[in-house]
């Protein structure tokens, strides 16, 4: 894969899957633009550069349209292109239906669904103009099959899958592919805080016999971002160790 001067935006890049993805793209030779609503992370930039790539960290809240548009404008002024957008940022506010507050519903939709829309809408014109682009969205297996206590999260991820298919139809003629990754349970800080018996139950439901690692998802992002993946568009790739099959 030729990645000379390829530029990749990765949202939610400060930790977990996003950080692993930023490092994976750096190793592949991309210039990585790491977005997160956290403050600037010099450690992440150093890790990316140690992996052999170049990087910059930009504090961006994907739920804030003005911040997204300003960050894209600044990037285009400097690098004149965006080749890959990884819409990875996401939050959880879990509760059963009867206890789920409107504020928590709106917060998850704002980041996990509208944030994907906002970021994609901001970068799509430049991808159309250059006749090339890869947009990859973070969905979830729960967006395909539902999950107890996650009305807001499931609604957002189901919406992401729907938008992915619409954009694949709209942007394909311009050389832009749009796909989604649907991770299963992945060993992030959030999952690590779960009780041991819950983790054991997750592993028991996963045919490959383990919980996913952030690098497993990062590699899937990298695969769909490859220049040679140009005939894959509108797809939802489950990266779950066969969990859905084993359920």
Catalytic residue among 30, 132, 153, 221: 153
CA 147 to chain centroid? 20
Residue among 97, 219, 200 at smallest CA distance from 146: 97
Provide the terminal-to-terminal Cα distance of the chain, rounded to the nearest Å: 37
Structure-token match 């592993």, residue found: 203
23: helix, strand or coil: helix
Dist. CA 136–CA 85, nearest whole Å:
6
Query: Which element (helix H / strand E) includes 31?
Result: strand 31-36
- DSSP string across 190-206: HHHTS-HHHHHHHHHT-
Any catalytic annotation for residue 132?
no
Dist. CA 240–CA 247, nearest whole Å:
11
The overall longest dimension of the chain from CA atoms, in Å, is 52
Dist. CA 36–CA 17, nearest whole Å:
12
233: helix, strand or coil: coil
Which residue numbers are catalytic? 153
């Amino acid at each position: 894969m030729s990645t000379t001067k390829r530029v990749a935006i990765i949202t939610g890049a400060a930790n977990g899957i996003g950080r692993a993805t930023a490092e994976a793209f750096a190793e592949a030779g991309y210039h990585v633009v790491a977005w997160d609503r956290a403050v600037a992370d010099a450690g992440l930039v150093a890790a990316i550069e140690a992996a052999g790539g170049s990087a910059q960290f930009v504090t961006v809240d994907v739920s804030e349209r003005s911040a997204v548009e300003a960050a894209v404008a600044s990037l285009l002024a400097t690098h004149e292109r965006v080749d890959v957008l990884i819409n990875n940022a996401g939050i959880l506010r879990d509760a059963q239906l009867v206890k789920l507050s409107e504020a928590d519903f709106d917060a998850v939709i704002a980041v996990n669904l509208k944030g994907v829309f906002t970021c994609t809408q901001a970068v799509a014109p430049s991808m159309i103009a250059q006749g090339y682009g890869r947009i990859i969205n973070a969905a979830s297996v729960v967006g395909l099959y539902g999950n107890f206590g996650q009305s807001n999260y499931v609604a957002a991820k189901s919406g992401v899958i729907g938008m992915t298919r619409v954009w694949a139809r709209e942007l394909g003629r311009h050389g832009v592919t749009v796909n989604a990754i649907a991770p299963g349970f992945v060993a992030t800080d959030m999952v690590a805080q779960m009780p041991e018996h819950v983790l054991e139950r997750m592993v028991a439901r996963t045919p490959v016999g383990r919980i996913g690692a952030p690098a497993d998802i990062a590699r899937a992002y990298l695969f769909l971002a490859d220049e040679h993946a140009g005939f894959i568009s509108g797809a939802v790739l489950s990266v779950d160790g066969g969990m859905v099959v084993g359920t």
